[in-house]
Amino acid sequence: MTDLTSLTLAEARKGLAAKTFTSLELTDAHLNAIEAARVLNAFVMETPDQARAMAREADVKIGKGDAGPLAGIPLGIKDLFATKGVRTTACSKILGNFVPTYESTVTSQLWRDGAVMLGKLNNDEFAMGSSNETSCFGPVANPWRRDGSNTTLVPGGSSGGSASAVAALLCMGATATDTGGSIRQPAAFTATVGIKPTYGRCSRWGVVAFASSLDQAGPIARSVRDSAMLLRSMAGHDPKDTTSVDIPVPDYEAAIGKSVKGMKIGIPKEYRLDGMPAEIEKLWSEGAAWLKAAGAELVEVSLPHTKYALPAYYIVAPAEASSNLARYDGVRYGLREQGKNVIELYENTRAEGFGAEVRRRVMIGTYVLSAGYYDAYYLRAQKVRTLIKKDFEDCFAKGVSAILTPATPSAAFGVGEKGGADPVEMYLNDIFTVTVNMAGLPGIAVPAGKDAQGLPLGLQLIGRPFDEETLFSLGEVIEQAAGRFTPARWW
């Protein structure tokens, strides 16, 4: 039998249906792979007993012929999703040994459809980071290395554990979340596919909140088709999240292989940055050529407020974070550090429980919302956000179906290489992805090539609200042209 971990989700589904192998065999193969890859630090909690129990249950259902669309498929879950009875920490010390008594809506839908949980995946603390280095469980290693080098590279972040685990064949797919690029940037760094759906497409209920007006859940997977299959199960209306949208979830997989002939694809001139590496520029032109060869029409478009998206984000996101994270007070759950009165208890708990990046963002958020500064910072940033969204609306109003951009300004970098002296250096990683969150749009990152050092690079497609299907159709064209990429195993 071929190594079961090297199958795509779509291939595994076929094998399970044909009874070529069982879910228990498939699950065990992945549990073994996880055990052998602990050096990557992708999983912060392994749940082998639960995985095997879920796999056995899936095998019974497959046997009876009433299997769900993801029956028996082993997945990893980002530690930001509350999982009933299984420790959920957001990779922060402040949540300590928090064990939810409830299940997030997104994961409950995956289990409803028969998926198997292998364990919880590492991420940046409260999803604040672009390298997975802020996790209280330590950094995650990217399974990719530069040609001829054994330097450990970051997998990107915040969904670094999800991306690393999917790329290293430790799980067939993973849940992730994206507030400023946290699905798409790690996907690009690891040659995996990641889609952030339209704001409101997936329920945020039971997902640890970072910046509520920007946060969206989505999958990271090994192919465009796999990501479509996962999103179909993750998406859908949830009365428990008032921002979740009550419109039907399409069969995303049906969009794979659909013709893109005649589609207008926008190439935004503002994304052509000064000093952009030539290989990113080349990748971008190649992507455009592939779409053109498939019958799409390329048009130059302008998104004039692009450069203001990242600074506006670094007001809006910390402001929302500072209020969301007010709940970690050492009283209702998680860590408690004593103090001689209740204020000191709060202050000591939060100083001890939050890492440096989270403290910094909570403080900047507190500042921009404080009396006398609200109008100058927060209100202005929300107005700029309106302008960013309008840029996209104007572009789509001219008949543009989707926008093609690079996913990241560079390939993966080394652990400890960025952001040490100036936090802004790290933030610049999200320059191409953050606009999409500010405008609430869907965006997909698809592997498209490698740089001169053999590291993967990705392209991003940005779509109209709730038109994820077009992104899957176009993403498939890029995947067919570029091929798929798997790292050489060194662990």
Partner 1 sequence: MSVDATTVRRIAHLARIAVSEDEVPHLQGELNAMLAFVEQLSEVNVEGVEPMTSVTPMQMKKRQDLVNDGEIADDIVANAPATEGHFFLVPKVVE
**Least distance between partner 1 and beta carbon 488 (Å):** 38
Asked if 315 touches partner 1 (CB under 8 A), the answer is: yes
Binding residues for partner 1, total number by CB under 8 A:
75
Question: Binding to partner 1 (CB under 8 A): which residues in 178-237?
Answer: 198-200, 213
**Least distance between partner 1 and beta carbon 439 (Å):** 7
Question: Binding to partner 1 (CB under 8 A): which residues in 83-142?
Answer: 98-99, 101-102
Asked if 424 touches partner 1 (CB under 8 A), the answer is: yes
Q: Pick the piece of the chain touching partner 1 (CB under 8 A) from 71-79, 166-174, 185-193, 238-246.
A: 238-246
Active-site annotation holds for 158: yes
Contact 28, 21 (CB under 8 A): no
Contact 216, 177 (CB under 8 A): yes
Residue 26 has φ and ψ, to the nearest 5°, of -65, -40
Q: Pick the piece of the chain touching partner 1 (CB under 8 A) from 164-172, 276-284, 373-381, 400-408.
A: 373-381
Q: Pick the piece of the chain touching partner 1 (CB under 8 A) from 110-118, 284-292, 402-410, 418-426.
A: 418-426
Asked if 377 touches partner 1 (CB under 8 A), the answer is: yes
Active-site annotation holds for 135: no
Asked if 330 touches partner 1 (CB under 8 A), the answer is: yes
**Least distance between partner 1 and beta carbon 100 (Å):** 8
Nearest to 447 by CA among 190, 67, 81: 190
Asked if 329 touches partner 1 (CB under 8 A), the answer is: yes
Asked if 39 touches partner 1 (CB under 8 A), the answer is: no
Contact 244, 204 (CB under 8 A): yes
Cα 323 to Cα 119: distance, rounded to the nearest angstrom: 29
Start-end of H helices in 149-194: 160-167, 184-190
Q: How far is CA 333 from CA 121, 161, 327, 328, 349, in A?
A: 21, 25, 9, 8, 11
Q: Pick the piece of the chain touching partner 1 (CB under 8 A) from 70-78, 286-294, 321-329, 456-464.
A: 321-329
Asked if 397 touches partner 1 (CB under 8 A), the answer is: no
Question: Binding to partner 1 (CB under 8 A): which residues in 454-483?
Answer: 465
Q: Which two tokens stand for residue 276?
A: 């952009």
Name the burial class of residue 439, with classes exposed (0-12), middle (13-18) and buried (19+) by CB atoms within 10 angstroms of its CB: buried
**Least distance between partner 1 and beta carbon 377 (Å):** 7
**Least distance between partner 1 and beta carbon 405 (Å):** 19
**Least distance between partner 1 and beta carbon 320 (Å):** 12
Name the burial class of residue 347, with classes exposed (0-12), middle (13-18) and buried (19+) by CB atoms within 10 angstroms of its CB: middle
Residue keyed to tokens 């940005």:
462
Asked if 293 touches partner 1 (CB under 8 A), the answer is: no
Contact 355, 133 (CB under 8 A): no
Q: Strands 116-121, 74-78: parallel, antiparallel or unpaired by DSSP?
A: parallel
Q: Which residues are catalytic?
A: 158, 182
